[in-house]
């Protein structure tokens, strides 16, 4: 990897700042000043900026317990974003693997790895997302078959993919879907004449929201959780 790219990927430097730092003689490789931004860094090299060692920040994977009222976006002028909740280096490298509405709570996965998040969000991969749903009107057992067969969403062609509904009580159910259409759960219930009044994501694939995380808290995923996707 080029030295200027190495600086960008191990610090807050933009490419222009990295080039300037290198030119100014503040960057060393194994104790020797290197002024060539194109210098090829190898794994055996010890790169320092003003004497401090720099290490590459690798791919990152984390889960957040999204609280009500936060936006699943990287920036928002009005509301706090889920990224604002992370006291983490280089937050601009992160993206959200499957967004939730502002009033939806629960599991949000955040990563730097685009291929990994594609495996979560692509409908072709059929990664199940499980939601705890509270509705305004009583639930009918017939809905289990209706959602398994697929429903027509307003302004969309075709039917939703088979979804699994587990009725918990008259107004609460667990719904697992493998797609992530805009407002999908709310629109599925609207399609059958009901209204979602509470929505909480419990799991994505086999990754379950950690009980120890209060709303607004996050942790890194374990190796097993990362590999499960």
- Residues annotated catalytic, as ranges: 101
Tokens at 43, concatenated: 């794994």
Other beta carbons within 10 angstroms of residue 155's beta carbon come to: 7
Q: To the nearest whole angstrom, how small is the minimum distance from the Cβ of residue 198 to ligand URA?
A: 11
**CB closer to ligand URA, 21 vs 130:** 130
Q: To the nearest whole angstrom, how small is the minimum distance from the Cβ of residue 92 to ligand URA?
A: 24
Q: Which of 183, 195, 208, 222 binds ligand URA (CB under 6 A)?
A: 183
Which range in 59-67, 139-147, 153-161, 177-185 contacts ligand URA by CB under 6 A? 177-185
Which range in 3-11, 57-65, 161-169, 179-187 contacts ligand URA by CB under 6 A? 179-187
**CB closer to ligand URA, 94 vs 199:** 199
Phi-psi region of 9 (alpha: psi -120 to 50; beta: other; left: phi over 0): alpha
Residues touching ligand URA: how many (CB under 6 A)? Answer: 8
Expressed in angstroms, the distance from the first to the final Cα of the chain is 28
Q: To the nearest whole angstrom, how small is the minimum distance from the Cβ of residue 87 to ligand URA?
A: 24
Within 8 A by CB and 6+ apart from 93, the residues are 57, 60, 112
Which range in 5-13, 35-43, 100-108, 212-220 contacts ligand URA by CB under 6 A? 100-108
Q: Which of 101, 179, 202, 210 binds ligand URA (CB under 6 A)?
A: 101
Phi-psi region of 155 (alpha: psi -120 to 50; beta: other; left: phi over 0): left
**218 pairs with which residues across the strands?**
64
Q: To the nearest whole angstrom, how small is the minimum distance from the Cβ of residue 186 to ligand URA?
A: 4
The enclosing H or E element of 22 equals: helix 15-23
**CB closer to ligand URA, 28 vs 176:** 176
How many Cα atoms sit within 13 Å of 10 on the Cβ side? 19
Instruction: Answer yes or no: are the C-beta atoms of 68 and 103 closer than 8 Å.
Output: yes
Which range in 18-26, 41-49, 178-186, 202-210 contacts ligand URA by CB under 6 A? 178-186
199 interacts with ligand URA by CB under 6 A = yes
64 interacts with ligand URA by CB under 6 A = no
Q: To the nearest whole angstrom, how small is the minimum distance from the Cβ of residue 196 to ligand URA?
A: 7
User: Helix, strand, or coil here: 114?
Assistant: helix
For the four alpha carbons of 12, 16, 18 and 21, in that order, the dihedral sign comes to: negative
Q: What are residue 137's phi and psi, to 5 degrees?
A: -110, 155
Q: What residues line the site for ligand URA (CB under 6 A)?
A: 100-101, 104, 183-186, 199
């Amino acid at each position: 990897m080029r030295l200027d790219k190495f600086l960008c990927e191990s610090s807050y430097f933009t490419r222009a700042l990295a080039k300037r730092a290198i030119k100014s003689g503040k960057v060393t490789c194994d104790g020797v000043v290197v002024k060539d931004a194109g210098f090829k860094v190898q794994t055996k090299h010890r790169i320092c900026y003003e004497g401090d060692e720099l290490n590459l920040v690798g791919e990152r994977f984390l889960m957040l317990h999204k609280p009500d009222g936060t936006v699943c976006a990287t920036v928002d002028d009005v509301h706090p974003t889920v990224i604002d909740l992370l006291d983490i280096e280089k937050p601009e490298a992160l993206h959200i693997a499957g967004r939730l509405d502002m009033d939806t709570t629960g599991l949000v996965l955040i990563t730097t790895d685009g291929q990994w998040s594609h495996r979560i969000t692509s409908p072709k991969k059929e990664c199940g997302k499980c939601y705890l749903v509270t509705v305004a009107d009583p639930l009918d057992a017939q809905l289990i078959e209706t959602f398994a067969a697929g429903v027509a969403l307003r302004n969309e062609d075709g039917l939703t993919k088979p979804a699994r509904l587990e009725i918990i009580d008259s107004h609460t159910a667990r719904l697992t879907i493998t797609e992530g259409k805009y407002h999908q759960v709310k629109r599925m219930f609207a399609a059958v004449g009901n209204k979602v009044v509470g929505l909480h994501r419990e799991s994505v694939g086999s990754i379950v929201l950690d009980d120890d995380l209060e709303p607004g808290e996050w942790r890194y995923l374990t190796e097993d959780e990362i590999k499960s996707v």
